[in-house]
Chain A
Amino acid sequence: MQFITRRALFQALAGALAHRLSAGPASTASRRLVLVTIGGIRRQESFSKQGLVNIPHFYSDLLPQSLFFPYTVNEGVTSHFNSIASILTGVWQHVDDWGSQKPAQPTLFNYIQKLRPGHPNDCWVVTSNKQLTANISPGVNVILAKQLLIEAVERIINGQTTRKKLERDQLLQEMTAVLETDYERIGWGVPARSNFQDPAIKQTFIDALGNFIHGPGAPVSGDELTFLVGCEVLRRLQPAMLMMNFSDVEVAHSGAYSLHVGGIRRSDILCHRLWQFLQASPELKDNTTLLIMNEFGRDPDGSSTNGFFNHRTNTETCRMAWSMVLGPAVRKPEVVERVVRQIDFAPSAGSWLGLEVEQAAGQRLPEFAG
């Protein structure tokens, strides 16, 4: 496997300054962060010579405008909950992978809530990953978007509803019904029922589901629903921080390599669309930083853990991820070639948000704007 060369990366950056927006810095109080994590993607299927075909938008559209860290190491537990918790806290976490325990240190969400108490809609998580229970950061609004889809599909195919076919309109009705009656059971964690019953919030979800069912491109996957719900949350609620987790790539655990690669390509498209969405929004354009991180790679071909299926080995293939920053936290588009750690991003993004992430073990990255 060959990583793309320094020359190729610098060529991709050519002209980046011309793209760079010249807006002045927003005040820290109005700054917003959108963090996207993507389940395991190996370098050989992404930022490598043979992998670029899977990530045309990351490479050609986003990288030239970005602060790009091609060597972002995950030195912690290479599982989803622990990796995401480590990114959010700036400390390597070693808690239950199934989400039954809270991270041992405060998350960026906690720091935001501490700085700005009394803003219940400041912190949102929209996720495709069912392990991301409300324990990821208590008090945060957590929407298990993919789980809603799963629940509705299961009800239909198991005959637990009057709706009998997996047709778009019937699915919309079923998802809406689940939303109305069973949102707690499927894991939607909002701090208070009254918060969920807020008509504006409820309409956010209804609109997102409608976009999913009737939107262009006939979306069907969990990540597409997560994307659409996330966009509605951004559009209507404009939280200080939204985290979205894409997990379609995790079909790799079942060994369908073509579908895993399809998941990578979908992440590439969705992240680009998310960036376009932010740039098209006058309210978000100049004050929202988009931070995209893959949680880890996957195991190497020929490993005793069955290669791309899993992400358990203590290898560079599994531990070396990448990170991309877009928006006002980017002082200038740049490829940072030194190795950085995933835990460095909480203090870096936190500092840009005006937070004192005092319990983070990671170091603030100087390339982030202050």
Chain B
Amino acid sequence: MTSMAPPAYKELIERLPRTFVPALNDQFRQWDALFPAEQRLLKAQLDWLDHLPPEQFKQLFAPLQDVESRMDLPRWKPGAAGLSIQDTGIIARSSYYPQWRAEVEKVFGRVDEAIAGSLTRQPMLIVCILPAGLPPAIEPLWPQLAGQGMWVQLAAPFGKMEHDFVSSLARRKLPAGIEAEEGTWVIECRSQLSPLVEPAGAVALSWNALEELRREFLSRLNNIRRDLQSADQITEELRRLDLRRYLGPAINQRPRVREFLRAVLLSGNGSLVFNNSFVQWGTSEALRRAQPQAMIAGFGIRQKLKPFSSVVLFEDQHAGNPVPDQDDPAGSLIDGAMLAQYVYLSAQGLSAYQGRCLTMMAIEDSDRLLLLGAQRPLPSGPVQAEQLKDYALTWLSHE
């Protein structure tokens, strides 16, 4: 793991806007839990700022510091790390929050623009897979995305080639300079791809396989009383919870992935409630943080919400309810299509993926696949499994 001595930036941190400091301290505190891409990015940002001439530094931050001076910010101690729910609430309800947010985005836009050339970029691949068993879509899927890409005719339904395709991605030789945790990730509802890729060193997270851990989180979150202190306290307990007893060896030997999982489950967005939300949010966060070269998102079919249990989404949906379990393929189609699109849009907002990402949107029992970001055509005629695999592997090995 890369190491970084936070004291090297002590003087810089003291010059930064007040609202940056707790978040930055939090990043330092969990430095070893950051992925290599995050460490490289943070280091590049701080190095650039550290070497910025004082006048330019002042100009860059002056508008933001001006907004901060008008906000009634919490009085953080110098070493405070992370923002509590209460702190976040205070900032978000400030009259100056929109200006603050706009200025923060401007600063990061300027910094990221400046360091863009210093970060190595690789060709990337994202594969979003909707499950078999969904009803036929009333309208073509992803109409907005289709205009930016092309529908490809496959020689067989994608599900027939899926396992070999995904295994091959996981087994490929990684380009120089890429660590294993930046190679291939699978985040899926079921546990069908995980066993194929884990032996090859890929990272795999499965909603089904995480059931015990999810139950533990939900159970504890249900104990939050209706006040912010209680919410902060339970969140802090979950930050300290030893996850190892709930996880298999493949994740346990990767502390960064373990902490990533904790962060995903604690950051809402339905990751504890719905299987497809877990896949979308987990994938979007993995793209932002770990920046894997190949990312596979396997969506699934969620169950129908049961009468009355549905008002308590954080509770066990089976407990006490006489209504039998039932799949919701129609709802899952709507959810999966939207959330797969969100995965694509997330990547488009990340400089590591912009202009260098091939995206495949597939449905297991369909022989059509939406291809986005292709920089060379696929072979003409129905595409065979081998051709699709070669196409993806060639793309990933492209310098």
Contact = CB atoms under 8 A, between A and B. Distances in A.
A82 B281 contact: no
B103 to A, nearest CB: 11
Contacts of A177: none
B269 A306 contact: yes
A354 B346 CA distance: 51
A255 B93 contact: no
Nearest to B306: A166
A358 interface: no
Interface in B296-315: 302, 305-313, 315
A255 B274 contact: yes
B268 A253 contact: yes
Interface stretch (B37-45, B210-218, B252-260, B336-344): B336-344
B85 to A, nearest CB: 9
Contacts of B323: 166
Contact of B339 (A97, A158, A221, A255): A255
A341 to B, nearest CB: 15
A312 interface: yes
B309 A157 contact: yes
A146 B321 contact: no
B94 A164 contact: no
Interface in A151-177: 153-154, 156-159, 164-167, 171
A221 B320 contact: no
A187 B226 CA distance: 10
Interface stretch (B148-156, B327-335, B375-383, B391-399): B327-335
A146 B311 contact: yes
Chain A interface secondary structure, helix, strand, loop or mixed? Answer: loop
Interface in A169-219: 171, 187, 218
Contacts of A255: 269-270, 273-274, 276-277, 280-281, 335, 339
Interface string B212-255: 00000000000000111000000000000000000000000000
A254 B270 contact: yes
A256 B328 CA distance: 12
B106 to A, nearest CB: 13
A221 B281 contact: no
Nearest to A170: B320
B387 interface: no
Contacts of B101: 314
Contact of A220 (B302, B307, B319): B307
A94 interface: yes
A258 interface: yes
A92 B70 CA distance: 17
Contacts of B227: 98, 100
Interface in A123-162: 130, 146, 149-150, 153-154, 156-159
Interface in B257-287: 268-270, 273-274, 276-277, 280-281, 284
Given A96-B89, A256-B274, A157 B316 contact: yes
B98 interface: yes
Given A150-B312, A154-B315, A306 B284 contact: yes
Contacts of B61: none
Nearest to A304: B349
Contacts of B62: none
B376 to A, nearest CB: 26
A251 B313 contact: yes
B324 interface: no
A166 B269 contact: no
A94 B319 CA distance: 40
B79 interface: no
A222 interface: yes
B310 A302 contact: no
B305 A259 contact: yes
B97 interface: yes
Interface of A: 77, 79, 82, 92, 94-98, 100, 130, 146, 149-150, 153-154, 156-159, 164-167, 171, 187, 218, 220-222, 251, 253-259, 261, 301-302, 304, 306-309, 312, 314
Given A154-B312, A222-B311, A256-B302, 4 more contacts: A157-B316, A166-B306, A256-B331, A259-B331
